[in-house]
Amino acid sequence: MTGLYVETGGEGPALVLLHGWGLNVRVWDPLAQALGGRLRLIAVDLPGHGHSPWQPAHATARRQVQCISAAVAPLLGHKPYALLGWSLGAELALQWASARPQSLERLVLFAATPRFTSAPDWPYGAPADRLERLAQGLRSDYRRTVSDFLELQVRGSASGERVLAQLRAALFAHGGARPEALAAGLDILRETDLRAVMGDIDIPALVVAGQYDRVLLPAASRALAQAMPRARYVEIRRAAHAPFLSHAREAAALMTEFLES
């Protein structure tokens, strides 16, 4: 038993959803409403987030993917499914897909990158000191640090105030993340570099970025899509880091077309 919290809803093809750093399954509610029950959504609280417990063994991306896949396996059986990841959840989704499980048929990624931090050969990443500032903030006041990060996610969005309210409502309704889980998430973002395996993920993929994302450059998602054999890149105008919230109907239409094609 993994003990991770899982919710299901809707009918149709199965779609597993992995949320971002510091959030929980409630962040998917507006998108689920826009999808109108046409998909069987299986949403998971990442280890140490929301209602899911935390264990030191969850600290690595590889172990988190193992725990999450074990938690949803009884709901999937051996039937085909798709996987959706957002931000940190997209990093885990890419790790998951790189193992090439036979039943995984399609991949949807919001605000995704194979490498979060910049490097001499990767100009699309965030400055390394951004993660260090977040890590320092966690040690002094982790709740304030998460709140500040939520505000960064909505900057540039056409519906920034509404999206920020939705993010905060998700935390209020379902609970935040434990400091240990938040620190581990930053370590995963700092250490992960999947560029060498992107060419091996040979399944249809939809990569969606927000035009004004201040957390992750859209160019990183574009480069990711170009590195994957069967990926399509879409950039949503006037969206920021959470386009599935600011433009839920547009995102739902893109997903529905992609998953049903």
Distance CA 106, CA 84 (A): 9
Residue 126 DSSP one-character state: B
Residue 94 Cα distances to 65, 86, 176, 196, 237, angstroms? 10, 11, 24, 12, 24
User: Which has the closest alpha carbon to 101: 226, 196, 201?
Assistant: 201
**Residues labelled as active-site residues:** 87, 213, 241
Distance CA 177, CA 197 (A): 30
User: Which has the closest alpha carbon to 64: 122, 30, 21, 13?
Assistant: 21
Distance CA 146, CA 165 (A): 14
Which tokens is 92 given?
């885990």
Which tokens is 173 given?
């309704």
Which string of b and e fits 9-20 if b means at least 16 CB within 10 Å?
ebeebbbbbbbb
Which tokens is 219 given?
């160019």
Which helix (H) or strand (E) covers residue 91, if one does?
A: helix 88-98
